[in-house]
Amino acid sequence: MLLIFKRKKLKLIKGHVVPHTKAFMYYVYLLKSKKDNSIYIGYTNNLKSRFKQHNNAESKFTKNKIPWGLIYSEIYKDKSDAKYREKNLKRFAQAHNQLKKRIKNSLA
C-alpha cells in the first residue's frame, strides 16, 4: 500500500513514514489543594505543562492554594468536548457529585 501526503511534512518513525502533524488530545482535570483541600477543575491540551504552571503560581486562580495534586483526568480528542465537560462539572452539581462518588478515595 502506498500512501501519499500532499503539502505536509513527513517524518520517518521506526521505518514508517507518517505525516508530521500536531494531533492534540484534550484533558479535563481535577486538582486538589494540599493547603486547604479545595478542588480546581480545568481543561488543557498539555496536562504536564499545565500542572507545572499551577504549582509554580502561574495561574491567578490557583496561585494562592499551592501545592496542588492531580487527582483525576479525562481525555478527549475534540477540544469542544473537553470544554463542554469542564463547564458541566463546574456548573452542574449533579455531574460534579457523580464524579465525586466515582473518585471518593482520591478525595480523602
Report the pLDDT value the prediction gives residue 101, as an integer from 0 to 100. 87
Q: Are 37 and 48 in contact (CB under 8 A)?
A: no
pTM of the model: 0.72
Give the whole-angstrom CA distance, residue 89 versus residue 98.
10
Give the whole-angstrom CA distance, residue 37 versus residue 35.
6
Report the pLDDT value the prediction gives residue 92, as an integer from 0 to 100. 84
Q: Which residues contact 69 (CB under 8 A, 6 or more apart)?
A: 31, 32, 34
**pLDDT tens for the 108 residues of the chain, in order:** 334 444 444 444 444 444 444 568 999 999 999 999 999 999 999 999 999 999 999 999 999 999 999 999 999 999 999 999 999 999 887 888 888 888 888 877
Domains defined along the chain, listed by start = 24-107 (3.40.1440.10)
